[in-house]
Amino acid sequence: MSEATSPGKIILFGEHAVVYGRPAIAVPVAEVQARAVLHPAGSGADFRIIAPDLSQDYELTEAKPDDPLATIVQTTLQYLGQPAPPAATLHISSTIPLGRGLGSGAAISTAIVRAMAQFLYRSLAPAEVSSLVYEVEKLYHGTPSGIDNTVVAFEQPVYFVKGRPIQRMRVKHPLTLVIGDTGIVAPTHTVVGDLRRRWQVEPERYEGYFDEVGVIVNQARVAIEEGRLGLMAIGELMNENQELLESLGVSSPELDGLIQAARQAGALGAKLSGAGWGGNMIALAEPQVAVAVAQALTQAGAVKVITTEVARST
């Protein structure tokens, strides 16, 4: 038997603009996890995929061509030079809400890759895992930036620009983040596709927004890594990023309500995280204020609240 887990993720700064070549910052969220377990089956048995959370139970040979779970299995087997799948049963489970910007698809794929490599007595570097998962991200998101598979595979904060080498980030002072779930599923490819159509009509307008987001991301990187400006500066940058996301048309009344509630409860900054139109928002809070912020989000209608800490690193 082999078993592997993978964390969720949130984007701190730069969603959407990252698709258009600007930088973004993302961090893992260990409080939610995807898990993949491979059990050997009897000789001659088929490779079976069981994912109760997704109401899936089928043999690999029965999978549709665009099935994400089957695709990551087959892609991994091909990469590892396995001509045929082993006789085994793959059990998949996850505590990461689907379609909420927490990287559920990338986390599930990452856990599967790791479990399969372990099952076949192979070791893969995070960069190799990320590359394999990216291929499946295309099925989920159409034109993914690559940030989800990167931060999930490396399990540490990253500064990411599409097409450039990954830069792992230092964190000077811990960041306490409170994540509020609207409960609304908003598929990333739908939101990204809608924004792309508007960008095609008014490219100069939207490129201007993306440039502004890029400036904020770079300022946030300096603030996080050097720590000289303090948490208030990071919070203010989150608020500025949210204003631009609203201008991009990817926020929603539900997200706006949770963001306002968090700020009124003492959060230093708050913004949506991920595609938008639903999903999650995040708030930066001092540790002693985080409980009050979490309570305010629940009272404002959040269906789930997660508090996580981005630990100090060197």
Enumerate the active-site residues: 148
The answer to whether the beta carbons of residues 156 and 29 sit under 8 Å apart is no
